[in-house]
Amino acid sequence: MEYQWLKTFCIAAETLNFRKASEKLVMSQPSVTVHIRLLEEHLGTTLFDRQNNRVSLSDAGRFFLPEAQQIVNSIENSVNKVFSFTQGYRRNWTIAISPLMAETILPHFLRSFMKLHPDLEINIRVEESYKIEELVEVGDVNIGISALDAKQKNIESISIYEDPILFVMPVDGYDEESGPPIDVKEILQRNYLFTHHHPVFWDDLLFKLHKQVVGLRTMKVTQAHITKRFIQDGLGVSFLPHSIVRRELIEGKIMQPHFDLFELPSVSTFIIVKKKGALEEEFINQISKYFFG
């Protein structure tokens, strides 16, 4: 029984369409048919029922599918381990990080950490913050970087830095000395406010804004990098953590007017970990010393 027959069977069972299976496998449709026929002959049973140019799994096919998937996954995992070994990797480590954090933390810190551990294959899972604690809990990842504090008692949560929230808007074309004063209330009334790209501060912030600004118009944009792009293109304004917009402010792609309606909050970034081995301890110590401002 050949691996490729099993792989073809798994994809055909997923699509229930030999043409779509051939496209996924990058092979001809007749080759898919041959692989299925050879596997059925080897097993001595029919895996698919064929009626009016439609295919469905037979009882034997449904029974065999999880077995075939397990074999395929095992082979592919083993092959991937060999590939990693030949590249010099001897250990495997997985980090879960929210999209918001991925833009600010990893590009700056991870390069130096990887240089210290050339034998370590690091896998990055970009997940929403609310999912990260569960991934750490079940052991799918070794460590998490999240915008949310941990809730479970057996999960340790370490705050690594505080980030002030800034009000940011499109560049108005004036320099600081010759430009007219900016009325943030008027800016908020004239522009869409992009919201909910951070899981913590929006409810309280919107409550305060609605008390201060009449006719506030909001638009949910759940990814910070999209929000930044929209602001740069003049589509609206928003409140973002300083670390997210630091470069754009320096490069003059967006601007930060003085916000005087009320005091803006700060948000924390947390390391989420369940089992702290030597590598986890080193990662936490190193990233805690890093400056992200």
Residue 275: give its domain's CATH number: 3.40.190.10
Find out whether 258 and 167 touch, Cβ atoms under 8 Å. no
| Closest to 241 (Cα-Cα) out of 283, 202, 191, 198 | 198
**Domain extent for 157:** 91-161+268-289
Please indicate, yes or no, whether residues 95 and 63 belong to a single structural domain of this protein: no
CATH of the domain at 20: 1.10.10.10
Find out whether 32 and 22 touch, Cβ atoms under 8 Å. yes
Please indicate, yes or no, whether residues 133 and 278 belong to a single structural domain of this protein: yes
Please indicate, yes or no, whether residues 172 and 240 belong to a single structural domain of this protein: yes
Question: What is the pTM (predicted TM-score) of this model?
Answer: 0.67
Cα separation, 226 vs 98, in Å, equals: 15
Please indicate, yes or no, whether residues 144 and 282 belong to a single structural domain of this protein: yes
Cα separation, 208 vs 287, in Å, equals: 34
| pLDDT tens figures, 41-87 | 999 999 999 887 788 999 999 999 999 999 988 888 777 777 656 66
Find out whether 243 and 163 touch, Cβ atoms under 8 Å. yes
Total count of domains within the chain? 3
| pLDDT tens figures, 106-138 | 777 787 787 888 778 888 899 999 999 999 999
Listed residues 86, 111, 145: the one ending a domain: 86
Cα separation, 208 vs 263, in Å, equals: 10
| pLDDT tens figures, 185-227 | 999 999 999 999 999 999 999 999 999 999 999 999 988 889 9
Cα separation, 224 vs 221, in Å, equals: 8
Please indicate, yes or no, whether residues 153 and 284 belong to a single structural domain of this protein: yes
Q: Where are the beta strands (DSSP E) in 137-229?
A: 143-146, 156-170, 192-195, 217-220
* Start-to-end Cα distance in the chain: 57
Please indicate, yes or no, whether residues 157 and 245 belong to a single structural domain of this protein: no
Please indicate, yes or no, whether residues 154 and 273 belong to a single structural domain of this protein: yes
Cα separation, 239 vs 204, in Å, equals: 13
Burial class (CB in 10 A: 0-12, 13-18, 19+), 139: exposed
Please indicate, yes or no, whether residues 173 and 149 belong to a single structural domain of this protein: no
pLDDT of residue 283: 87
